[in-house]
Amino acid sequence: MVSPYRNRKESPRKGIIRAAIVLGILAVLITSFYASYLVFFAKGPEVAASTGYVFGDANNITVVISRDFGETNLKQVTVNYSNGMTALKALQAAAEVEEQGGFVWAIDGLRSEYSGEGSGDPVDWFYYVNGIFATVYAIFYEMQPGDILRWDYHWWALDRTSGCIATDLFAGFAYGYRGVENGGIWPNYIVDCGGFTAEAQQLKEAFDGWGLNATVRLWSDLSEDEKKKANLFLVGTFDSNLTSYVNDNYEGMGLFYHYDGEEVYLFDPVSDSPTQTFEHCGIIASAKDPWNPLGVWNAMNLCWMATGVTRSDVQAALDTLINDPHVLSDKFGGFAIANGEIYEVF
């Protein structure tokens, strides 16, 4: 009797064919993974920049100088990137600057008017990197290729000014803050806040088209650590999970919209008084991550919202964003859409 456990010899021809098949499958898998890596990780910012949806030169620094919460763009200059370039050096390459100890007093002759309480409107220069309000003096911030550096001259409203602005489009998702070496490029999660799977997937497909890597997640599947350390784009109505937290904490997050259960209010950044009131509207807005333990001013990751009173309001906001993302280019904090009209959220 022949033992069933006896070693069976395979013909050399069959062994070669089998090895070739295995190697072929491995080659396809490796090639696919590498291509995905190039598009979504290594080349994401370049793809986004080439579409025009992320402003700026992917190999250099784009310096934007504006005033009054982005209402007027005074200058936009591409500055050649050099290793170790600080935010201050990049600004000095683009404009005439008066500074002391890294604090910028004047840009192209437009001087700070802040000199203490009771002395008139305190206005000053504030800077953002890739739409994210800076956490350090400009002399200490080291720029990275592709960064968008914005200096805006506006009233001191730090207690209500969003830590992340929308006007520089999706640079925060593409380039991050403080660069790869400092952990400033976070995972991007498009978050279904409960029953908005189709809408979240729609936004994910748009991100793919813009060259931005993102993963759709259900709100309940996000770990506490992910909520603290990822870039979030929340999709849901004002009363959905997570978006309701944002709506309830709008002042602390520096947001200029609020839904009180009956109406949506848009606020002026200086007077803090309502400028528009709607029974229904959709909102696209940006801020820093409220779950980051560093707080909304020191956090380096994002929290964007696609929200509204009803599902159709959320869809209207998403449709506007996806079909015409450049609507954000002159909306410092985002936009509201009501009755087919677009309004700036501050």
Residue 303 sits at the vertex; the CA angle it makes with 310 and 330, to the nearest 5 degrees, is 80
The pLDDT tens digits for 8-17 are: 344 545 455 5
- The pLDDT mean for the chain works out to 83
Residue in this structure with the two tokens 């090639």, named with its chain if needed: 31
Best CA proximity match to 318, nearest among 305, 302, 330 = 305
Residues 204 and 178: beta-carbon distance below 8 Å: no
The pLDDT tens digits for 139-175 are: 999 999 889 999 999 887 655 666 888 988 888 898 8
Token duo for residue 282: 């959709």
Cα(137)–Cα(146) distance, integer angstroms:
20
DSSP helix/strand/coil, 339: coil
Residues 282 and 307: beta-carbon distance below 8 Å: yes
The pLDDT tens digits for 47-98 are: 555 555 566 677 899 999 999 888 899 999 999 999 999 999 999 999 999 9
Q: Do the strands 123-129 and 148-155 form a parallel or antiparallel pair, or are they unpaired?
A: antiparallel
Cα(47)–Cα(211) distance, integer angstroms:
5
Residues 302 and 286: beta-carbon distance below 8 Å: yes
Residues in contact with 34: Cβ distance below 8 Å, sequence separation at least 6, in sequence order? none
Annotate 46-66 with DSSP letters as a single string: HHHHHHTSS-S-TTSEEEEEE
Q: Is residue 197 scored above 90 in pLDDT?
A: yes
Cα(278)–Cα(148) distance, integer angstroms:
34
Provide mean pLDDT across the span 259-264.
96
Provide mean pLDDT across the span 226-230.
92
Cα(111)–Cα(231) distance, integer angstroms:
35
Report yes or no on whether pTM surpasses 0.85.
no
Cα(147)–Cα(59) distance, integer angstroms:
9
Cα(331)–Cα(162) distance, integer angstroms:
12
Token duo for residue 309: 């009173």
